[in-house]
Amino acid sequence: MFDFSSYHYANNKPSLSGVIRTHFSDFKVDEKFAFDATGEGEHALLHIKKQDTNTDWLSRQISQLAGVRKVDVSYAGLKDRNAVTTQWFSVWLPGKPDPDWSQLNSENIEILQTIRHSRKLRRGSLRGNQFNLIIRDVEGDASDLEHRMNIIKQDGVPNYFGAQRFGIDGNNLEKAKIMFGGKREKDRFKRSIYLSAARSAMFNDVLSQRVEMNKWADGISGDVMLLDNSHSYFLAEEIDEKIIQRLKEHDIHPSGPLWGRGDLLSKGVVAEIEKKLPEKFEVFDLGLRNARLDQERRSLRLSVNDFQYSHDVKNNILYLSFFLPAGGYATSVLREIINV
């Protein structure tokens, strides 16, 4: 059975425990983009507040209302169903007027804003997400809480793909194995989910090894360094003072592989760790290559920006607020603070 807790912690397992998502409003997520809408164009942008609503399901409702194909509705990333989230969707409507978007409003869905734009939303167009979380029924030893918070502010956290990536009890990984075994998955969305789960498991395995070595935020000779909030990278054959300073400033980050076709970019000790993945994940290795996914890189470190917290000891509540770049999981921050 898949056990997310088996991944190593950056600062040992927390002694505090608590409960998350007692109410939808305990987990708030707001998308942030690096661009402003143009106000005109073939694409309608919808800013939607939702709760208890699946992103893919909502995109289907939007396509039906607009009378367009499902592929003509785009979004920058999936959002948690069990949360209050604000999210943008784009709808391709060339030469067509906007339908009455208010028909989407319901107990769980609210249209906040609509505006035209010259381009569709794409994966990667998201700058990041603002999180505001409430953890209730907090119990345990809080003596090291401030210390943990300061470490996170300074170093960030290991950039694990969150447990939700793998489904309940790792079900998405089992589905991936079945799919790679020859069963064709006709649903394009589900196929993408299973491919991502397999890739994520392989990445998390490498990251956990680097965390155990205490080398997830520090560089190793042979590391592939990613520029902060960028897909640009370079090979660090030696870790000199300049590299160390750039790592300290979060200007660059060591990376791990998102598995697929192609040769590893890393060298030395780093490459030796990553070369063992095909043997450990043989089914995933072959499946991802056959799916024609090209190898990519992902940062081993997740920077946690604008980090604030308060601990209401009397009512056993912990409040957290922070901003994560696109692709970062709030659960990866939480697991370094409290067992939820």
Record the tokens describing residue 103, joined without a space. 């028909």
Helix or strand holding residue 244 (H, E)? helix 241-248
| Burial of 141: CB neighbours in 10 Å, binned 0-12, 13-18, 19+ | exposed
Q: Closest by alpha carbon to 179, among 294, 287, 290, 292?
A: 287
**Residue from 26, 72, 80, 155 carrying the catalytic annotation:** 80
Q: What is the rounded (10 degree) CA torsion for 116, 231, 203, 148? A: -90
* Owner of token pair 């194909």: 69
Length of the chain: 340
Euclidean distance between the first and the last CA atom of the chain, given in angstroms as a whole number: 19
What is the pairing mode between strands 157-158 and 296-299?
unpaired
To the nearest 10 degrees (0 to 180), the angle between helices 188-212 and 268-275 is 130
**Residue 80 is among the residues annotated as catalytic for this protein:** yes
Alpha-carbon span 153 to 46, nearest angstrom: 33
Are 199 and 37 within 8 A, CB to CB? no
* Owner of token pair 């692709």: 327
β-strand partners of 224 = 235
Record the tokens describing residue 140, joined without a space. 């345990």
| SS3 state of residue 70 | helix
Among left, alpha and beta (phi > 0; psi -120 to 50; other), residue 12 is left
Are 181 and 325 within 8 A, CB to CB? no
Alpha-carbon span 175 to 190, nearest angstrom: 9
Alpha-carbon span 260 to 287, nearest angstrom: 9
The residues that are catalytic are 80
